[in-house]
Amino acid sequence: MSLKFLNKKQFHPTNKHNQKKKFIAEENDKARIKRELERAKEQQEELEFIKNKELLTGSKTEADKLKVGFLYAPPPGYIPENQPQPQESLIDNDNNNHKSKDKLTDVEKFPFLAGAPVAGDYRDQVKLVHKPFGIQLRDVKCARCGNFGHCSGERECPLNQINPLDSKRLQHEDPLYKPNNNKNHNNSGNVNNNNNNNNQKSIRVNPNASSPTKQFGGGNQVYELIEEPEEEKQTFEINNDDDDDEIERKFLASLTKHQRKILLRQIKLEEKQRKKDKKRKKQKKNNSDDSSFSDSSNNSSEEEEDKR
């Protein structure tokens, strides 16, 4: 019982570090034996292939060529430079969308680790912590771009400068957004009123008049007053309002956030001043009505006294 502390010593076989070294050595030994068996199997298959080739062709020269054919064969995985390499993505986004984060492998999360060397095959069953030189790997997923290694809003994210809520925020901070909506409602109301008043006629100027009825601006400039159809007038008014709205939107889009705040503050001040002026006028009107009423009452009382 008193010698339990010895398992923490470096020389003790039950030490964690020694157990790890033992496990790695055993796994490497298993991998070496497996490689030797695979090589022996490949060699046996090659010998059988050469023997069968010699029996089929009946010439020994073909068999001799096959024996040294490995000298001229390209290494496995070699692709010539002039031949285009097929580009196959290591990660299939459609398949990974319904995969959980824990089920994704390190290669699927970080594609550049596909050809990274490892110590042995036993690493496939062990959770590794890769530490590539000069690269910090973080097991986090970005909510914007969907890539691993960084969070949303960090500098490494390719969509760092793009905020999906910018359009709604700009629309909310736009001081002319509500007036534009009201203007559109007013436009629809104006169209309905114009449809009701079909008897009204509009007049426009035609500079290319053949038979002038009136002359304006001297004898050289001749114009003609003609009636314009009511439908064209309505479409012209609606198009003008749409053009004004588009110009206002472009103008607001060209402003910075600070300039929009200043514009909004100025509009609010103007609205307050307008309300104050309206209230002041109303008070003046009420005071004038009260004074006129008092004057009339005084005059009536004086007349009654005179009559008496």
Q: What is the DSSP letter of 158?
A: T
Rg from Cα positions in the chain: 45
- What is the model's pLDDT at position 29? 93
What local confidence, expressed as pLDDT, does residue 179 receive?
A: 52
Please report which residue ranges of 141-229 form alpha helices under DSSP H: 166-173, 177-196
Task: Tell me what pLDDT residue 206 has.
Answer: 47
pLDDT given at position 222: 44
d(CA 60, CA 166): 78
User: Element (H or E) spanning 146, and its range?
Assistant: none
**Which residues, 6+ apart, have CB-to-CB distance to 207 below 8 Å?**
223
- CA atoms of 60 and 51, how far apart (whole Å): 10
pLDDT the model gives residue 220: 47
Q: Give the DSSP letter of residue 141.
A: B
State residue 61's pLDDT score.
Answer: 74
Instruction: Give the count of beta carbons closer than 10 Å to the beta carbon of residue 142.
Output: 19
Q: What is the pLDDT of residue 30?
A: 94
pLDDT (tens place) for every residue of the chain, 308 residues total: 567 778 778 888 888 889 999 999 999 999 999 999 999 999 999 888 888 877 777 777 777 777 787 788 888 777 777 765 554 433 344 444 556 666 677 777 777 777 777 766 666 666 777 777 777 778 888 888 888 888 888 888 888 877 777 777 777 777 766 555 555 545 555 545 554 444 444 444 444 444 444 444 444 444 444 444 555 555 555 556 666 777 888 887 888 888 888 888 888 989 989 888 888 888 888 887 766 666 666 666 666 666 65
d(CA 23, CA 13): 12
State how far the Cα of 236 lies from the Cα of 232, in Å rounded to an integer.
6
Structure tokens at 163: 């905020």
Copy the structure tokens of residue 152: 């949303």
